[in-house]
Amino acid sequence: MDYKIQSNSDLDTIELAQNIESERFDKMVICLYGDLGSGKTLFTKAFAKSMGIVDNITSPTFNIIKEYNGENDSKLYHMDVYRLNEVEEDLGIEEYFKKKGVTIIEWADQIEDILPKKRLDIIFKIIDENKRIIKLVPHGEEYEELINRVL
Tens-place pLDDT, residues 117-132: 999 999 999 999 999 9
Q: In the CATH hierarchy, which top-level class contains the domain 3-150?
A: alpha beta
Single-letter amino acid, residue 124: F
Query: With left for phi above 0 and alpha for psi between -120 and 50, is residue 33 left, alpha or beta?
Result: beta
The pLDDT of residue 58 is 79
The pLDDT of residue 5 is 97
The pLDDT of residue 82 is 81
Average pLDDT, the chain: 91
Confidence band, pLDDT 50/70/90 cuts, at residue 63: confident
Q: How many CB atoms are located within 10 Å of the residue 63 CB?
A: 12
The pLDDT of residue 89 is 52
Single-letter amino acid, residue 140: G
Read off the pTM: 0.93
C-alpha to C-alpha distance for 42 and 130, rounded to whole angstroms: 13
C-alpha to C-alpha distance for 31 and 109, rounded to whole angstroms: 8
Whether 62 shows a pLDDT value over 70: the answer reads no
